[in-house]
């Protein structure tokens, strides 16, 4: 397995070198909107610790990511009136991993509405701002 590359896009987001539509942050995790969402409200949860994927992350850091993914999933169900949630994590290229900083996708789903194909279109910034605001509001209760 390759080593962690601290120049990946998510590492740059964590360092504030690239913008993101942040919805949640704690001492171990960071959650933000996917700019190429597969569904309305598609968010990403990443660890602050440098980890390429599931295969090299420390168990405590992965547990924190899983807890945050659950928190985001519950908020997304409410914010987007979802009928269900998909939580996905890919490790290594053969699985479909494209950005090599561990991340979990949290995608609200509606009955009868198919997910868009991965990386098929970049969402309008105003839509992403609205989706982030809706998730943040749901997180606050």
Active-site residue flag, 101: no
Interval 67-93 mean pLDDT = 98
pLDDT, tens digit (0-9, with 9 covering 90-100), for 38-69: 999 999 999 999 999 999 999 999 999 999 99
CA distances from 30 to 17, 68, 110, 115 (A): 15, 8, 25, 24
Q: Is the pLDDT of residue 1 over 80?
A: no
Which residue, among 16, 21, 18, has the nearest Cα to 130 in the 3D structure?
Answer: 21
Under the banding of pLDDT at 50, 70 and 90, the label for residue 80 is very high
In terms of residue numbers, what domain contains 112?
9-140
Residue 90 has what pLDDT? Answer: 97
Q: Does 1 reside within a domain?
A: no
CA distances from 13 to 8, 46, 47, 86, 141 (A): 9, 10, 12, 24, 26
Asked if residue 128 lies in contact with residue 35, where contact means CB atoms within 8 angstroms, the answer is: yes
Under the banding of pLDDT at 50, 70 and 90, the label for residue 132 is very high
The dihedral formed by the CA atoms of 3, 15, 32 and 106, expressed in degrees to the nearest 10: 20
Catalytic residue from among 42, 101, 103, 131: 103
Look at the chain and report how many structural domains it folds into: 1
Judged on CB neighbours under 10 Å (0-12, 13-18, 19+), 100 is buried
Q: Is the pLDDT of residue 109 over 90?
A: yes
Q: How large a percentage of the chain has pLDDT more than 70? A: 100
- The CATH number linked to 14 is 3.30.428.10
């Amino acid at each position: 397995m390759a080593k962690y590359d601290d120049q990946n896009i998510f590492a740059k987001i964590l360092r504030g070198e690239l913008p993101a539509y942040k919805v949640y942050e704690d001492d171990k995790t960071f959650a933000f909107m996917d700019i190429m969402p597969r569904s309305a409200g598609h968010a990403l949860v990443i660890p602050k610790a440098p980890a390429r994927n599931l295969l090299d992350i420390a168990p405590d850091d992965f547990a924190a990511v899983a807890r945050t993914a659950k928190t985001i999933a519950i908020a997304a169900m409410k914010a987007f009136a979802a009928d269900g949630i998909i939580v996905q994590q890919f490790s290594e290229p053969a699985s479909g991993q494209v950005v090599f900083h561990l991340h979990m996708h949290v995608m609200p789903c509606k009955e009868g509405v198919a997910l868009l194909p991965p990386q098929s279109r970049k969402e309008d910034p105003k839509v992403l701002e609205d989706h982030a605001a809706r998730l943040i509001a749901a997180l606050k209760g």
